[in-house]
């Protein structure tokens, strides 16, 4: 008999995912996959109409991470099994590290509520704490992708906080090479060195698999097609 995969095991349980960024490019595919597998999704969104109505397992709360009180966050985190952040606002992040400020409130709430697992999606052009970018990625970041500098700096501040102040939390960072929408190009694998520009759908599928992977805890790896 073939042993069950991580995905089989996760699908056999009824989980609650707390999702931030549920209406974004990767977020919408992540939510769809979780609901398709029979899990519950609790999503904080600014525009609820962007999510499909009529699913009893989808709980939508309207709001923004910049406006939440500690009590609000506790109410979102309560009874969640996994917390997933796929947030990004290039204009707001030019002005302030909004994700960092939010994660610094989210992690204490997770501690209070006894929730351990957190996956944060960052861009592949954001360097991990204590690490460096390859010459190629450095060049891309500071030339054609220089308009996203605020997002990269925000992501890096989040990774520094997680690595230095939140190792009691089972955090995972997905440094995704997010391209655009479209059909799947294949399955992404975790890699410390190889990086692929991937579709929203494939990034979401990778994140969905990886959130339950204990070997990914306290890593900030890339995702790539083919051999890792």
Q: Which domain holds residue 80?
A: 6-225
What whole-number distance in Å separates Cα of residue 148 and Cα of residue 33? Answer: 28
Domain of residue 179, CATH code? 3.40.50.720
Residue 50 in contact with residue 23, Cβ under 8 Å?
A: yes
Residue 61 falls within a domain, yes or no?
Answer: yes
Taking every pair of Cα atoms in the chain, the longest distance, rounded to a whole number of angstroms, is 55
Given its phi and psi angles, is residue 98 left (phi above 0), alpha (psi -120 to 50 degrees) or beta? alpha
The DSSP bridge partners found for residue 191 are 222
Alpha helices (runs of H) in 126-179, residue ranges in sequence order: 135-141, 149-165
Q: In terms of residues, how long is the chain?
A: 228
Across the beta sheet with 82-85, the strand order is 58-62, 40-45, 16-20, 82-85, 117-123, 170-176, 220-225, 188-191
Residue 100 falls within a domain, yes or no?
Answer: yes
What whole-number distance in Å separates Cα of residue 144 and Cα of residue 131? Answer: 22
What whole-number distance in Å separates Cα of residue 5 and Cα of residue 54? Answer: 30
Q: CA neighbours within 13 Å on the CB side: how many for 190?
A: 17
Cα radius of gyration rounded to whole Å, the chain: 17
Residue 109 falls within a domain, yes or no?
Answer: yes
Is the whole model's pTM more than 0.85, yes or no? Answer: yes
Q: How many domains does the chain have?
A: 1
Residue 1 falls within a domain, yes or no?
Answer: no
Q: Tens-of-pLDDT digits for all 228 residues of the chain?
A: 444 445 545 655 799 999 999 999 999 999 999 999 999 999 999 999 999 888 999 999 999 999 999 999 999 999 999 999 999 888 888 899 999 999 999 999 999 999 999 999 999 999 999 999 999 999 998 998 888 899 999 999 999 999 999 999 999 999 999 888 899 999 999 999 999 999 999 999 999 999 999 999 999 999 999 876
Residue 80 falls within a domain, yes or no?
Answer: yes
What whole-number distance in Å separates Cα of residue 180 and Cα of residue 119? Answer: 21
């Amino acid at each position: 008999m073939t042993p069950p995969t991580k995905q089989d095991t996760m699908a056999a349980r009824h989980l609650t995912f707390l999702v931030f960024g549920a209406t974004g490019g990767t977020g919408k595919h992540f939510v769809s996959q979780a609901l398709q597998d029979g899990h519950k999704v609790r999503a904080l969104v600014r525009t609820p109409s962007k999510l499909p109505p009529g699913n009893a397992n989808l709980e939508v709360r309207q709001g923004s991470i910049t406006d939440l009180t500690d009590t609000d966050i506790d109410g979102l985190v309560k009874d969640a099994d996994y917390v997933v952040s796929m947030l990004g606002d290039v204009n707001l992040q030019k002005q302030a590290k909004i994700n960092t400020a939010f994660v610094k409130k989210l992690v204490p709430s997770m501690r209070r509520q006894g929730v351990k697992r957190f996956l944060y999606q960052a861009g592949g052009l954001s360097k991990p704490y204590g690490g460096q970018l390859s010459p190629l990625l450095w060049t891309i970041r500071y030339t054609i992708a220089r308009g996203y500098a605020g997002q990269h700096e925000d992501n890096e501040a989040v990774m520094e906080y997680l690595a230095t102040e939140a190792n009691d939390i089972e955090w995972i960072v997905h440094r995704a090479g997010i391209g655009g929408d479209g059909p799947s190009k294949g399955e992404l694998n975790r890699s410390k060195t190889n990086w692929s520009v991937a579709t929203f759908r494939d990034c979401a599928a990778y994140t969905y698999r990886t959130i339950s992977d204990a070997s990914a805890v306290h890593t900030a790896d890339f995702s790539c097609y083919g051999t890792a």
